[in-house]
Amino acid sequence: MKQKPKLSFWQIWNMSFGFLGIQFGFALQNANVSRIFETLGANIDNIPILWIAAPVTGLIVQPIIGHWSDKTWCRLGRRRPFFLIGAILASLALLVMPNSPVLWVAAGMLWIMDASINISMEPFRAFVGDNLPSSQRTTGFAMQSFFIGTGAVIASLLPYMMTNWFGFSNTAPEGVIPDSVKFSFYVGGAVFFLAVLWTVIRSKEYSPEELKEFEDHSEDVCEDDHAEAGPAIKVSLRTGIISFLVGGLLSLLFVYVHVEKEVFILSFGLMAFGLLEALSALLQHRKVRNGYTSIFNDLNNMPLTMKQLAVVQFFSWFALFAMWIYTTNGVTADKYDMEVDQNMVKFLSTQLDELENKDKINSGRATEIREELIKYQAHLNNDEKASAKVNLVKFYLSDHILKEKEVVETLQNQLESARNKSGDERIASVLKELERQEKSKTPDIPYETLKQVNQLAGEGLVTLPQNMDGKFTFFTRLKEIRKNYNDGADWVGVGFGVYNGFAAVFAFFLMFLSRITTRKITHMISLLVGGLSYLAVFWIQDTSWLLLLPFVGIGLAWASILAIPYAILTGSLPQNKMGVYMGIFNFFLVIPQILAASLLGFMVKFWFDEKAIYALVLGGIALLLAAVSVLFVKDED
């Protein structure tokens, strides 16, 4: 067997550079899509079901793209055509996503975006196996981790930078995505396309004839190696039937106990897999040979190492999905001042009654809001902290308590009168902001401005109108809660930037550590550090730099998850099945994400008393279990 020649550092650099753009897309999606969904009206317990688009798309797209790329050869090569097609589609989706007018459009764009990113991403994993010898595979996947981290750190920080460096607003009227998020997605779309284009232009691929010279044919899976007629097909058929029946029984159980609708994804998924597995077995029994039966046959004949790594990946990606969905809500509600007190709950309840009596709100929406207020009251009755949900705040700020235009006009009159009596520069500053809001089609007075007005009133320099005085206090508090939420969401973006940034640095550390120990020990240590870091996010209450420390440890785990399992896996795969097996391996990233999307919303609502921070605790435990399961993996080239 002819050995593949080693590539230079810069050749590996060029072939991995496209991941810089891919991670721009993923990082913007992970850090901001929950925020977009909440802005467009999604309830926190419904967000996981909206996120289901991402893993389901990967489950379907990646093995198909892997199979096709195994069979493809054209002027652009074997994998590179898929890089380019996915980049074009994903870049367009990034431009459209933040302009979604309603929630269902945003959910649809997430589906399209994730499918497009998967089209680009899946062949990149096989690209390393195609082009690098065994001795350089860890380096190749670590280089991908470096670009993933580098791209993600910038992309995660983009909304924060847009607000604090370039002056874009991080707030907007109800139902409108802030400009800081919009322009971040525009930049991401451009970077995605250009980075992938660089790899397409600057990289080369071995032709099918050249790849055959490098293959160890004793390990290859033949093109006609479908399950032998007999035992293997019977096992496949039996597996399909059992999966379908278990899924059906679970569905009946879920109906009986009245679980949340997202939990049915688990049972319906089992039924769907059972049908597809059984159909594949029947087609193979009839000697049908096509891409569909080939993918399922390969799934049923996975190498042992791949099965062992599947367990590690299951726990790892369950933890990651919990972090991506719940960090924003968990951190903002648990560590930022979003609390309501008895007076505020009573006031909001009174306002809701008035709105309902005047038919300014439909009964379904009124019932939903009243249930939230009852929950807050129950917490307060038990001397517990009650954090307002951002959707509730947005509802009351959407001209329900005070119309923004009315507030602007009234305050202008009061402040003009006050300025004539006092030369205080703060009055002029507030008036300048109010004049800017008056010219806006959608006025949205910043909390800082309202805070200044209250300070001036407290000093006796401004007198608030009697018809506004009581409401104005609560109006200001709601604005403060919304500001705290957005500040917390931006800080989460910084945290995501930190873990991705350190992942880029740790990518080179992993190469060194795996040489002096083993790949297994390296991965186990990284996952242990990551699990403990998840738990630290729960314990640390300081919202300054101290809260960023756990994200350093998460960065180590993330770098390892992106590199080491693939370096171990590639050595166990046949060359002519590299693409499809990389796609199938994605199942064990996707299935835990679907499970998380199915169960976490239910668990947060009913087990964790809607305290999303406990989802991160569960994720930390999952990472610790992943670390233990690494011990059982067989790592052989």
Q: What is the pLDDT of residues 338-374, one digit of tens each?
A: 788 888 888 888 888 888 887 777 777 788 788 888 8
Q: What distance in Å separates the CA atoms of residue 229 and residue 220, rounded to the nearest whole number?
A: 20
* Largest distance between two CA atoms of the chain: 96
Count, residues in the chain:
637
Cα–Cα distance list, 481 to 357, 452, 541 (Å): 27, 16, 18
- Could you report the per-residue pLDDT of 97-149, keeping only the tens digit for each? 888 877 778 777 887 888 888 888 778 877 877 787 777 777 888 888 888 77
Asked if 48 and 601 count as a contact pair (C-beta separation under 8 A), the reply is yes
Q: Give residues with Cβ within 8 angstroms of 368, minimum separation 6.
A: none
Work out the pLDDT band at 440, boundaries 50, 70, 90: confident
Q: Give residues with Cβ within 8 angstroms of 72, minimum separation 6.
A: 78, 79, 81, 82
Predicted confidence (pLDDT) at residue 316 exceeds the cutoff of 90: yes
Asked if 249 and 256 count as a contact pair (C-beta separation under 8 A), the reply is no
Work out the pLDDT band at 198, boundaries 50, 70, 90: very high
Q: Which of 288, 397, 390, 375 is nearest to 331 (CA)?
A: 390
Asked if 455 and 464 count as a contact pair (C-beta separation under 8 A), the reply is no
- Residue 634 φ/ψ, nearest 5 degrees: -90, 115
Give me the sign of the Cα torsion angle 485, 488, 490, 496. negative
Three-state secondary structure call for residue 74: strand
Work out the pLDDT band at 637, boundaries 50, 70, 90: low
